Amino acid sequence: MANLTTYCEPSVLIPHISVLHEVTGRCRLRVARLRYDGSIRQGLTQRLTASPLVVSFRFNLACESITVVYVGSIGPLCVLLSQPIHKLDVLQPVC
């Protein structure tokens, strides 16, 4: 299991996301607390739905993972997902 440090600069990382599997255009990520924390799911849903990088995504709550189909390389997707997800992200749109 690779941490996002494989793909991103350490300064933009959040430690609770790690890459389980990655092939060009698709990755599976483990997201800590995904099963139990609805604000994380809502924040990820908002962020992924709004991104032109993302073709589709699917949560697997039993495994606390998310599969993302994306355009391009994993680097920009990693940067998108490595931004902190706060409860305010869910309540207010990001400008």
CATH number for the domain that contains residue 10? 3.30.1360
Report the alpha-carbon distance of residue 45 to residue 34 in Å, rounded. Answer: 12
For 60-81, what is each residue's pLDDT tens digit? Answer: 999 999 999 999 988 888 888 8
* Residue 68, domain extent: 2-91
Structure tokens at 62: 């039993």
For 22-72, what is each residue's pLDDT tens digit? Answer: 999 999 999 888 998 888 888 899 999 999 999 999 999 999 999 999 999
**Structural domain total, the chain:** 1
Give the predicted TM-score (pTM) of the model.
0.74
* Spatial CB neighbours of 51, under 8 Å, sequence gap ≥ 6: 77, 80
